Each structure stands twice: as structure tokens, then as C-alpha cells.
Amino acid sequence: MARFFMRGRGGDGERQAARDAARDVADKVRRLLDLDEEASVSVTEIACGDPACGGAETVILVMRAGQRTQAAKLLKPLATVTDEEIVDALVPLRAVG
């Protein structure tokens, strides 16, 4: 299961593009971590006060049955996240078995 949350006031097209980007990231996370059907992935873009993140950061939550929720953060807007950055952000989450 994947959950997507976007904050902002963009138009319908903008919101759909954000949902599509979040779905794409969640699908990549599921594949990269080889998650089973019981696991959930949440991809959220939230406001960020750190000037380094350009006003928004992307938070990826991975919820596996019987384990603590894990988080990976990318200090950039969801639309600018690259595949390589996703892979790098997930390194600490792979250690869980």
C-alpha cells in the first residue's frame, strides 16, 4: 500500500503531477527494498524551513509489519528527486530484514 500527501494550492494538473511523482517514488522504494504486500510506503512533500531544501522536503516512510516505521528524508521538493538520490536515501533502511 502506498500513501501520498502533498501540501499546497496548485491546480488540478499540478496536484495530479505531484501524486504521480509520489506514486513513482513509492513504487521505486518498494522495488529497491523488495517490500512484501504487508508493507506500506508513504511519500510526503512538506514545507521545509532550511534554505538548503528550496522550501520543501520529501519524506519517505516505510512501515513493515512488526517493525518500527523508518524514515528517509530528501532536502528537496518531490518533483526534483532523482533515482540516485532515492537509492542513497534508502541505504540505512536496507539494513532491516
Question: CATH code at 61?
Answer: 3.30.160
Give the C-alpha separation, 42 to 63, whole Å.
8
Number of domains in the chain: 1
* Boundaries of domain holding 64: 2-94
Per residue in 33-82, pLDDT (tens digit) is 999 989 999 999 999 887 777 789 999 999 999 999 999 999 998 989 99
Contacts of 27 (CB under 8 A, 6+ apart): 2
Q: What is the pTM of this model?
A: 0.81
Show the cell assigned to 79.
Answer: 518533483
